Amino acid sequence: MDIKTIKNIPISTVMSRLGFCIIRTNDSSLWYKSPFRNEMTASFKVDSKKNLYYDFGEGKGGNVFDLIMRIKDCNFKEALHFLRNEYDSFSFHQTQSDIELKKKENQQSYEIDQIKPLANFILIEYLKSRKLNIELCKIYLVEVYYQLNNKQYFGIGFKNDSGGTEIRNKYVKLCLGKKWYTSIKNKSNQLIVLESWSDFISLLMLFSKTENQFDFIILNSLSMLNKLDTVYEEYEKVFLALDNDEAGTKATQKQLEILGAKCTDIRYLYNNGSKDLNDYLLRNY
């Protein structure tokens, strides 16, 4: 697909796909809390008609490419690659987003109808397509039935520490409620930090002894890494298992500089061209 087509992907759809929720709407203006800092009042505006964003806290804005380059700390080529790879899931949301904007409904309006043990065939098949062990998944994941702007959906659910629920299926990745990280504690003095629950499950499959020997933080978004300063104080050793992309590398290097000798980059475990632990699992097993 060409650059013009990708440039027309609604920024609101991208924000939803990346887990950011609308705080309020005003005609064609959609307001979010900024993805780039912790704030109480929404100062990040998306103009749905022009498909442009503006961050009043930074005094900067731009189009969908500018947004991805800023969020993922990457160049234009990498942003184009990301958007092209994610185009199908963005397209799945586009019709829904357009209808909601025409109705001028608040896209943050949601209600969780039911949370059940993981058993749905469609969700199980999705997890199998990621080569994830279903019995392990049943320990840490649930299936969630929810309404978003009066439409019913379902997906895999993963709770975060602020009461929000990360939702994932073949077509969507979003957060119901507040975006935050998830901690899994085993009374260890050593911590492993990962970006996603699929990486966490993959790690347990590849290195089964880690499950009870370490504490874990699943970020659910790389932006959550900036929230861990006080968490690190609880541990003697911190192991980083972030993505093997430019954003993951820059984030890892920054944490190594901050934490010094107590921090170790363990991406060598899957540094064979794999993007992350789940990608490594998919490639090698």
The pLDDT assigned to 105 comes to 39
Provide mean pLDDT across the span 209-224.
95
State yes or no: pLDDT of 204 exceeds 80. yes
> Per residue in 143-178, is it b (16+ CB within 10 Å) or e — as a string?
bbbbebeeeebbbbbbbbbeebbbbbbeebbbbbbe
Q: In this structure, are 277 and 188 located in the same domain?
A: yes
The pLDDT assigned to 58 comes to 87
The mean-pLDDT minimum among 37-41, 52-56, 191-195, 240-244 falls in 37-41
Provide mean pLDDT across the span 148-154.
81
Of 10 and 151, which is predicted with more confidence?
A: 10
Residue after which a domain boundary falls, among 103, 137, 153: 103
Provide mean pLDDT across the span 150-158.
88
The pLDDT assigned to 1 comes to 64
Q: In this structure, are 245 and 202 located in the same domain?
A: yes
SS3 of 130-158: the string is CCCCHHHHHHHCEEEEEEECCEEEEEEEE
pLDDT in tens, 66-125: 999 998 889 999 989 888 877 655 554 443 444 344 444 344 578 899 999 999 998 999
Q: In this structure, are 172 and 187 located in the same domain?
A: no
Residue type, 281: L
Classified as helix, coil or strand, 254 is helix
Provide mean pLDDT across the span 41-56.
92
Q: In this structure, are 135 and 99 located in the same domain?
A: no
Q: Around 152, how many Cα atoms within 13 Å sit in the side-chain half-sphere?
A: 3
In a domain, 109, yes or no: no
In a domain, 110, yes or no: no
State yes or no: pLDDT of 28 exceeds 80. yes
State yes or no: pLDDT of 200 exceeds 80. yes
What is the extent of the structural domain holding 218?
182-284
Cβ–Cβ < 8 Å for 162, 177: yes
CA distance 248 to 264: 14
Q: In this structure, are 46 and 131 located in the same domain?
A: no
In a domain, 277, yes or no: yes
Provide mean pLDDT across the span 134-153.
90
Residue 259 DSSP symbol: H
What is the Cα gyration radius of the chain?
19
In order of 13, 94, 172, 224, 234, the CA distances from 44 in angstroms are 15, 20, 22, 18, 33
Q: How many separate domains does the chain show?
A: 3
In order of 93, 141, 256, the CA distances from 174 in angstroms are 11, 15, 29
Which tokens is 86 given? 């994610």
- When the pLDDT of each residue in the chain is averaged and rounded to a whole number, the result is 88
Query: CATH number for the domain including 242?
Result: 3.40.1360.10
Provide mean pLDDT across the span 261-274.
94
Please report, rounded to a whole number, the percentage of residues in the chain having pLDDT higher than 70. Answer: 91
Residue 14's pLDDT band, with cuts at 50, 70 and 90, is: confident
Residue 181 DSSP symbol: -
The mean-pLDDT minimum among 31-35, 145-149, 157-161, 255-259 falls in 145-149
**Torsions phi, psi for 102 (to 5 deg):** -65, -35
Whether the model pTM is above 0.85:
no
pLDDT in tens, 168-197: 988 788 899 989 999 999 999 999 999 999
Q: Which of 179, 181, 118 is nearest to 154 (CA)?
A: 118
In a domain, 201, yes or no: yes
